[in-house]
Structure 1
Amino acid sequence: MSNGRIPEEIIESVLKHHDIVDVVGRYVHLSKQGHYMKGLCPFHSEKTPSFTVTPEKQIYHCFGCGAGGGAIQFLMAMEGYSFAEAISQMAKEANLDIGLDSLAGGRSQQNPEKTKLLEAYELAGKLYQYILKNTEQGKQALQYLRSRGLHDKVIDAFGIGYAPSQWDTLAQLLERREFSLPLMEKGGLLSARQDGSGYFDKFRDRILFPIHDWKGQLIAFGGRAMGDVQPKYLNSPESMLFYKSRSLYNMHRARPQIRKLQQLVLFEGYVDVIKAWEAGITNGVATMGTALTEEHAEVIRKQADQVIVAYDGDGAGQAAAYKSIPILEKAGCLVKIAMIPNNQDPDDYISTQGSERFVREVIEAAVPSIKYKLLYFRKNFKLQEDGDKLRYIQQALKIIADIASPIEREHYVRELSTEFHYSFEAALQNLNEIRLQSEKNNKFGDNNDKPWNNVMNDARPRERTPSLFPAYHNAERQLLAIMMYDREVTHYVESKLGDQFNVDAHAALAAYLYAYYAQGYEPNASSFIAMLQEADLEGLASSLAMMGNSHGVNDQVIDDYIREIKKYPQQQQIERKREEMIRAERSGDIKRAAQIGIEIISLEKQLKSS
């Protein structure tokens, strides 16, 4: 079994120090279901969980897209690591000295540009922090931050810095440290002069908020201008480190609390997050002034069930909050909207009303998305006028009609009819007519390409139609599933069947199992999969491992599987003979047809006696 230059005992040692639930849990919100953990697959879009982690076997498998493997394969898929990179990273996290520098294909060799950019961003972050706190140039910026209620301790904690007005402060430092300036431009730290005479700093005369990935690595900056300079906010451009449509400010700090509470508070800006953090809201992140994307929503859903959108209280902020609802709900989030009065933003509200009121009266008082939609549209109607009142009621019923739960629909219809003194029965009838018309207009499910993951009919997924394999194919799968957990069965199969598996992938997997046990390893699905290093075989092995072990399987069952597998080539031979006999008869060669018929009878007798 080939693992490059990484000894298999090192792989074993690394896996022993990492529980797959912890590894996967960094990326996917997992819920316990019996002996399994389930969550939304990070490798394809879905609304109902088909991604399963089995702690006992230390493997994962998605019944939707077929992805599967152990902790190493998961890290490779999520981070784009090579096998050696994944091993190196996991060993580093476990404080294992396995000679990382000697591993072929290590991180520095695989992606030197990315490594140098991370070093440069770390250096730039320290430079800007130093300038803010320790130089004359940074005094005005520091005073501004303090005037906004950010004291020195929180400035240090969030790594806030200042880029001076000079054109090449960072460029000179990077050049002195022998960083490649073209790479620094590619990574978003510098810009090239139009005349080709050199490079200048991307950020100048701006307060800088470091942006980190989920691991806490600095990958970008958000720059805020002081005064009337436009644009007011300027983010780093997208690079090999930073993707605006997927990155969320403060996710690396907030993740533990988000996962603990299964709730995320979504803000619009850096200062809102920081001020809320000081107020005790430690599960807050921000979209950094960019519009919420479906990619953002996917990242959020994998971390939390519930989202509280806490955008600014002015018209633009509330419109953005309204637009966020379908994006987040499409991803499967339960959405609430925080209502901030008097056109204030979270920062202003905390500064004027205090932390306790912000938590109690804004965050904890957030309203369900349907309630917010009704309030959002309500302000567009003059409810003292009958015409507008009736139009609002009709609009409200259309909004309520989209609710999946009959109880919730009835609740909001009753509230509406009570407020406006209309018959509950009449309002309910009107709502049912709206729903009936909507169903006529939308007969089909929302995921027609994958009907097994369709959430039509009040979010009840349909059963996926199982694949129907021929008898020999099922026998091979069942046999391999048993072999993954039983050394003795594997030795027996090797002696009786060898490489006679009919499916090429099954034959390859069997060969790997023979070799795995021949090297003295104990049955362990995760370790075995880690040693395959072939994506197709890893997925196949994980799906077989999910089928179970040899519990309750006796010798007769094993022999039956072997017999079924051996029968298939004979059946194929008989089928070919029948076709040959038909051709002989059609060509008039009766003697040859009779001879083939005798051969068929002999083969059928052998098949029955086998």
Structure 2
Amino acid sequence: MGYGRIPDEVIEAVLQRHDIADVIGKYVHLTKQGHYLKGLCPFHSEKSPSFTVTPEKQIYHCFGCGAGGNMFQFLREIEGYTFAEAVRHLAEEADIPVTWEESLSADNPQQKDRSKMLEANEKAAKLYRYILMNTDQGKNALDYVRNRQMSDKLIDTFQIGYAPAMWDTLVQQLQKAGYDLPLMERGGLVSARSEGDGYIDKFRDRVIFPIWDAQGKVIAFGGRALGDVQPKYLNSPETMLFNKSRVLYNFHQARPQIRKTNTMVLFEGYMDVVKAWEAGVRNGVGTMGTALTPEHAELIRRNAGRIVICYDGDSAGQNAAYKAIPLLEQAGCEVKVAMLPDAKDPDEYITAYGSERFVREIIDYAVPSIKYRLHYIRRHFRLQEEGDRIRYQQTALKMIADLSSIEREHYLKQLAGEFETSYESLKQDLANLRMKSEKNRTVRDNIDVPWNNGRHNRKETPKAPLYPAYHNAERQLLAVMMHDRDVSAYVEERLGDEFNVDAHAVLAAYLYAFYAQNSTPSVSRYMAMIQDDKLENLASSIAMMGAHHGVNEIVIDDFIKEIKKYPKQQEISRKKEEMIRAERSGDPLRAAQILSEIIALEKQLKFS
């Protein structure tokens, strides 16, 4: 059976040792309702719980957005794991030995390359750290780091190192260890020499910050130049391990505190994250100097309901914060912004004023996103001029219009008081704006920035589809097959792969394969075979239809007949169109011949 080459017995052991309600309960507050557990879906915004966990079947399904599957699929969706990573995570939690990686990578060239890159990155991180802490080459870099008020404990926590100025320090070590240098080039550790054969180190004369994935594996590096060299900061290039648009620096270490507080603090660079960590901000992550992306926002949304943006206080940092707000709010996060004075960055502020003041006056005093946005746009108006004051108030009203009624009143009073404008006139203008907006707004359960269990998504709840008869028959038949091995065998013999919906045919094929090696039905184990998000969502939706008590052989035969009728009905429709074309083209003999074919097909349908 295909589980991505993970041994069947490992999958079985993991499924036996874990209960899906416990796995999902770490992320979603579930309440018991009869045989089911219900909660607010972590994958889309909703006010009424439609996320359902069925302990009896060990599956989940959301009737709002259609997400569904077993515990492995849940972890893949919520954490971004691969199937193997989800299995490994649950296996390690249950103290089940993880022994399949070697056999997996041996037969899979891409997986083998990936494993070698991870090994080489780990080796490089240890080498850089050793050079910083234990060699004369690293003395200047160590002095620099310590002058930045970083303790040895902090250096150790973040595994900070130093890449010496020599051209090939790492190249020599990798060659001695037998690593393939062209692969190391693709992994971003070395570069091909421009003047001829051979390779040189990617990072030279830089303080090195290892970059980890969500599981704590080194996947890339960031280097800070010691001298007057551009760029000041250099990241590894994108590789099969590293995509900067999807990775947040320090996420693996910050995640426990993020989960505990449901809050993430977002910085721009490595040093800000490191210094903030020592200041007590243990839920801080960084975008490594790149702009926030929708992928970053989605990762943040999956792990935190609240986000504090703490970017540099200069113009560039504040512009970046302003642009990040709508991305995070569209993802469904509650956003605040920490405002740093005098164009300082977090590292400089902590150095100048200390950790306690940074937390108390900057992080804890972060302002709501609307307050920051109002403050930000003021820069574009000359408020000493009457015309600009009016235009600012009009712009501010448009921003306030989308807030809750309590927030609207609060900021409306502030606006009126600040400019000595009539509160009632501002309130009337706001009401007119909202009336225009309401005309263009559709009523739906998903609002723009709802509260939902601390997690959100941009997916909108789809309407329940109305399926044709053959489609419903296929779904109902698959639902029974998932719970009854004998019915699956009966359908395999009489219908085989003749399902009209391709996805249904694939699910049936997986069922036939599952029952070839399992005598007992298990929806969760069956889903572990599939390893395809869309198919698992579909399978969970069908499985939630239940085993159809009272279904007998006659009903099963009726389902099969309905499924087999559809191709003939389609053929009759095509023949009728063909007959019309023959009549219009002045070919009555051809039209009569087609009519006789239609009559024959209709008789077959009637007596089938």
Give the superposition deviation at 1:286: 0.6
Give the superposition deviation at 1:535: 7.3
CA contact (8 A) 1:453 1:461 kept: no
Q: Can you list the C-alpha shifts for 1:538-569, whole angstroms capped at 9, x where unaligned?
A: 45423212x24337x2356x744543543564
1:203 paired residue number: 203
Give the superposition deviation at 1:121: 1.1
Tell me how far apart the structure 2 counterparts of residues 24 and 287 of structure 1 sit (CA, whole Å).
Answer: 28
CA contact (8 A) 2:60 2:69 kept: yes
Instruction: Specify the SS of the correspondent of 2:214.
Output: coil
1:482 paired residue number: 480
CA contact (8 A) 1:84 1:106 kept: no
Opposite residue 426 of structure 1, the aligned amino acid is S
1:542 paired residue number: 540
CA contact (8 A) 2:184 2:190 kept: yes
Give the superposition deviation at 1:264: 0.8
Give the superposition deviation at 1:307: 0.9
- What is the TM-score normalised by the length of structure 1? 0.81
Q: Which runs of 5+ in 1 are unaligned?
A: 446-450
Tell me how far apart the structure 1 counterparts of residues 184 and 236 of structure 2 sit (CA, whole Å).
Answer: 12
Number of residue pairs aligned between Structure 1 and Structure 2: 586
Tell me how far apart the structure 2 counterparts of residues 588 and 133 of structure 1 sit (CA, whole Å).
Answer: 90
Percent identity (aligned): 51
2:408 aligned with 1:409, yes or no? yes
Change (3 A) 1:53 1:340: farther
1:329 paired residue number: 329
Tell me how far apart the structure 1 counterparts of residues 570 and 118 of structure 2 sit (CA, whole Å).
Answer: 63
Give the superposition deviation at 1:404: 4.3
Instruction: Specify the SS of the correspondent of 1:222.
Output: strand
2:519 aligned with 1:524, yes or no? no
Instruction: Specify the SS of the correspondent of 1:273.
Output: helix
2:417 aligned with 1:427, yes or no? no
Give the superposition deviation at 1:332: 2.0
Tell me how far apart the structure 2 counterparts of residues 304 and 561 of structure 1 sit (CA, whole Å).
Answer: 47
Deviates more, 1:286-295 or 1:425-434: 425-434
Opposite residue 113 of structure 2, the aligned amino acid is E
1:137 paired residue number: 137
Tell me how far apart the structure 2 counterparts of residues 504 and 374 of structure 1 sit (CA, whole Å).
Answer: 53
Deviates more, 1:209-218 or 1:273-282: 273-282
Change (3 A) 1:510 1:290: closer
Tell me how far apart the structure 2 counterparts of residues 332 and 310 of structure 1 sit (CA, whole Å).
Answer: 19
CA contact (8 A) 2:330 2:448 kept: no
CA contact (8 A) 1:455 1:461 kept: no
Change (3 A) 1:530 1:143: same
CA contact (8 A) 2:469 2:562 kept: no
2:469 paired residue number: 471
Opposite residue 550 of structure 2, the aligned amino acid is N
2:583 paired residue number: none
The CA RMSD measured in Å over matched residues stands at 4.4
Opposite residue 480 of structure 2, the aligned amino acid is I
2:150 paired residue number: 150
CA contact (8 A) 2:497 2:508 kept: no
Q: Which runs of 5+ in 2 are unaligned?
A: 452-457, 580-587
Q: Can you list the C-alpha shifts for 1:317-337, whole angstroms capped at 9, x where unaligned?
A: 222211211222222221100
CA contact (8 A) 2:65 2:461 kept: no
Instruction: Specify the SS of the correspondent of 2:209.
Output: strand
CA contact (8 A) 1:48 1:461 kept: no
CA contact (8 A) 1:21 1:53 kept: no
CA contact (8 A) 2:568 2:601 kept: no
Equivalent residue runs for 1:585-604 within 5 Å: none
Opposite residue 546 of structure 2, the aligned amino acid is N
Give the superposition deviation at 1:373: 1.0
Tell me how far apart the structure 2 counterparts of residues 268 and 137 of structure 1 sit (CA, whole Å).
Answer: 29
Opposite residue 113 of structure 1, the aligned amino acid is D
2:550 paired residue number: 554
Equivalent residue runs for 1:359-398 within 5 Å: 359-398=359-398
Instruction: Specify the SS of the correspondent of 1:234.
Output: strand
Q: Which has the higher contact order (CA 8 A, sep 6+)?
A: 2
Instruction: Specify the SS of the correspondent of 1:238.
Output: coil
Give the superposition deviation at 1:426: 0.6
Give the superposition deviation at 1:71: 4.6
Tell me how far apart the structure 2 counterparts of residues 162 and 575 of structure 1 sit (CA, whole Å).
Answer: 70
Tell me how far apart the structure 2 counterparts of residues 307 and 269 of structure 1 sit (CA, whole Å).
Answer: 16
CA contact (8 A) 1:88 1:100 kept: no
Give the superposition deviation at 1:139: 1.4
2:221 paired residue number: 221
2:558 aligned with 1:563, yes or no? yes
Q: Can you list the C-alpha shifts for 1:173-209, whole angstroms capped at 9, x where unaligned?
A: 1122222222222221112221114221111111111
Deviates more, 1:149-158 or 1:464-473: 464-473
Q: Can you list the C-alpha shifts for 1:363-385, whole angstroms capped at 9, x where unaligned?
A: 12111110111112234545455
Instruction: Specify the SS of the correspondent of 2:266.
Output: strand
Deviates more, 1:180-189 or 1:104-113: 104-113
Give the superposition deviation at 1:354: 2.7
Change (3 A) 1:116 1:24: farther
Tell me how far apart the structure 1 counterparts of residues 558 and 393 of structure 2 sit (CA, whole Å).
Answer: 71
Change (3 A) 1:519 1:599: closer
CA contact (8 A) 1:250 1:285 kept: yes
Change (3 A) 1:593 1:284: closer
Tell me how far apart the structure 2 counterparts of residues 110 and 437 of structure 1 sit (CA, whole Å).
Answer: 55
Instruction: Specify the SS of the correspondent of 1:111.
Output: helix
Instruction: Specify the SS of the correspondent of 1:211.
Output: strand
Deviates more, 1:331-340 or 1:54-63: 54-63
Give the superposition deviation at 1:417: 1.3
Tell me how far apart the structure 1 counterparts of residues 429 and 534 of structure 2 sit (CA, whole Å).
Answer: 54
Equivalent residue runs for 1:17-96 within 5 Å: 17=17, 30=28, 32=30, 35-36=37-38, 39=41, 41=43, 54=53, 56=55, 57-59=57-59, 69-72=69-72, 96=96
Tell me how far apart the structure 1 counterparts of residues 127 and 599 of structure 2 sit (CA, whole Å).
Answer: 88
1:249 paired residue number: 249
Give the superposition deviation at 1:309: 0.2
1:448 paired residue number: none
1:306 paired residue number: 306
Opposite residue 290 of structure 1, the aligned amino acid is T
2:454 paired residue number: none
Opposite residue 129 of structure 1, the aligned amino acid is R
- What is the TM-score normalised by the length of structure 2? 0.81
CA contact (8 A) 2:190 2:200 kept: yes
Tell me how far apart the structure 2 counterparts of residues 147 and 399 of structure 1 sit (CA, whole Å).
Answer: 44
1:264 paired residue number: 264
Give the superposition deviation at 1:15: 3.2
CA contact (8 A) 2:332 2:450 kept: no
2:237 paired residue number: 237
Give the superposition deviation at 1:259: 2.2
Instruction: Specify the SS of the correspondent of 1:223.
Output: strand
Opposite residue 561 of structure 2, the aligned amino acid is K
CA contact (8 A) 1:400 1:409 kept: yes
Instruction: Specify the SS of the correspondent of 1:203.
Output: coil
Change (3 A) 1:9 1:508: same
CA contact (8 A) 2:208 2:221 kept: yes
Give the superposition deviation at 1:85: 8.5
CA contact (8 A) 1:210 1:221 kept: yes
Change (3 A) 1:510 1:239: closer
Give the superposition deviation at 1:475: 3.3
Tell me how far apart the structure 2 counterparts of residues 114 and 561 of structure 1 sit (CA, whole Å).
Answer: 48
Q: Can you list the C-alpha shifts for 1:385-433, whole angstroms capped at 9, x where unaligned?
A: 54443333223222213x2433322321122113322222210222233
